[in-house]
């Protein structure tokens, strides 16, 4: 009895007639497995995990081995093993040839099975999933590249004058803008434009006070119900982590903001109250197009085109999701410089300090008496 492995299964090869091969090994399988191996063949036995492929593979090998084509293939493969058997002067044994044929046959059957059933079933169509956005060369995507802070300042202007009417930035405090988009005095002036609840007074009444740097950017609606009531039941998402929360990140947000066609394409249907945008899952989005050429006026005189405003606000939202972005890359560069220097020093110590000590030879010469 020879034992051979074929694609991770241990097959007990027993030479003999094909009709008696399964019968001899019935004790190793369940009744269902014997039925599948006997009637349906090894293709349908592959999903049984794990089983020991015994008599069925042996019977198949015996039948395939008699095929002239497979004999020619096995003899060609066997030439690669002939050099190992030159010392004994014997040819490749029948068991070895059978194992080669079994491996090739099992691999072919597995490939055929993967071709038939390997493709995953998709629950939605490409249109329902949303058009995949193109990949854009964002200036901060490089390993050592930082944000364009002029673009971040312009992006905050777009958010404040356009996006803030519906969307919140609940996780962004005014103080985080200092040194990133504005100076401390500019941010303090922006915060004072809004009113916040103060601590209760002696009579338990809550008064209003101007905002300060430690406050967070206020939301446009007091609660979720008010937001839905003002947007026909749709809830505008918070934009603090929108870049990380959407597949595609900056590419998706930029494509969504600039992807509104003048008219839906032929055959596209949009529900009442929704707007067509191919990048949004399903194609229908409650948010209408909000960016138009010249909608805002930049302090630095940059033309406020639709694509420019979309790029700037997307960069700003990326910073809002990753405010540590620039500092993280600076720290990473410092780590690489320090570890590289220590690695070079360790090589020098190993070569010129430790190697002579490790390879030296100490001899003891006893004194002559």
Q: Over the Cα atoms of the chain, what is R_g? A: 36
List of residues 6+ apart from 13 with CB closer than 8 A: 1, 2, 3, 4, 57, 58, 61, 95, 98, 99
Q: Got the DSSP string for 26-47?
A: GGGS-HHHHHIIIII-TTTTTT
Judge whether 107 and 5 are in contact, CB under 8 Å.
Answer: no
In the chain, where do the E strands start and end?
2-6, 9-13, 195-200, 206-210, 275-276, 284-285
DSSP classification of residue 225: H
Q: Is 25 exposed, middle or buried (0-12, 13-18, 19+ CB in 10 A)?
A: buried
Q: Can you give the pLDDT of all 369 residues of the chain as single tens digits? A: 443 333 333 334 344 444 444 444 444 445 544 444 444 444 444 444 334 444 555 555 555 555 565 566 556 555 554 554 454 445 557 788 888 888 999 999 999 888 888 776 665 666 667 889 999 999 999 998 999 999 999 999 999 999 999 999 999 999 999 999 999 999 999 999 999 998 888 888 888 999 999 999 999 999 999 999 999 899 999 999 999 999 999 999 999 999 999 988 888 888 888 999 999 998 999 999 999 999 999 999 999 999 999 999 999 999 999 999 999 999 999 999 999 999 999 999 999 989 888 888 888 888 887
Which pair of tokens denotes residue 33? 């497995």
CATH superfamily of 128-323: Cytochrome c-like domain (1.10.760.10)
β-strand partners of 206: 200
The rounded distance, in Å, linking the Cα atoms of 169 and 241 is 9
For the whole model, what pTM was predicted? 0.64
User: Where along the chain do its domains lie?
Assistant: 2-117, 128-323
Rounded CA gap, 38 and 47, in Å?
16
Please report, in angstroms and rounded to a whole number, the separation of the first and last CA atoms in the chain.
73
């Amino acid at each position: 009895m020879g034992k051979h492995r074929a694609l991770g299964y241990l097959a007990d090869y027993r030479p003999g007639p094909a009709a008696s091969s399964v019968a001899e090994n019935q004790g190793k399988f369940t009744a269902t497995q014997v039925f599948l191996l006997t009637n349906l063949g090894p293709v349908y036995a592959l999903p049984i995990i794990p089983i020991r492929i015994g008599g069925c593979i042996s019977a198949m090998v015996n039948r395939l081995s008699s095929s002239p084509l497979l004999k020619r293939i096995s003899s060609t493969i066997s030439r690669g093993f002939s050099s190992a058997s030159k010392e004994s002067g014997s040819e490749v044994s029948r068991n070895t040839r059978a194992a080669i044929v079994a491996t090739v046959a099992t691999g072919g059957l597995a490939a055929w099975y993967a071709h038939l059933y390997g493709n995953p079933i998709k629950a939605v169509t490409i249109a329902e999933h949303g058009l995949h956005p193109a990949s854009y060369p964002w200036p901060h995507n490089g390993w050592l590249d930082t944000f364009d802070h002029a673009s971040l300042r312009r992006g905050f202007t777009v958010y404040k004058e356009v996006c803030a009417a519906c969307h919140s930035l609940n996780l962004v405090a005014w103080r985080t803008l200092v040194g990133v988009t504005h100076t401390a005095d500019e941010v303090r002036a922006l915060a004072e434009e809004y009113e916040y609840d103060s601590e209760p007074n002696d009579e338990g009444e809550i008064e209003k006070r101007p905002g300060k740097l430690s406050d967070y950017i206020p939301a446009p609606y007091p609660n979720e119900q008010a937001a839905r009531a003002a947007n026909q039941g749709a809830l505008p998402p918070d934009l603090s982590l929108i870049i990380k929360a959407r597949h595609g990140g900056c590419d998706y947000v930029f494509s969504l903001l600039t992807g509104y066609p003048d008219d839906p394409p032929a055959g596209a249907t949009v529900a009442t109250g929704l707007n067509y945008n191919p990048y949004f899952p399903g194609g229908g989005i409650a948010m209408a197009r909000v960016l138009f050429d010249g909608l805002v006026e930049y302090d630095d005189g940059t033309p406020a085109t639709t694509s420019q405003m979309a790029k700037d606000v997307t960069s700003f939202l990326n910073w809002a999701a990753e405010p540590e972005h620039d500092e993280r890359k600076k720290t990473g560069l410092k780590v690489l410089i320090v570890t590289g220097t220590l690695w070079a020093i360790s090589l020098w110590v190993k070569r010129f300090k430790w190697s002579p000590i490790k390879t030296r030879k100490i001899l003891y010469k006893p004194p002559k008496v």
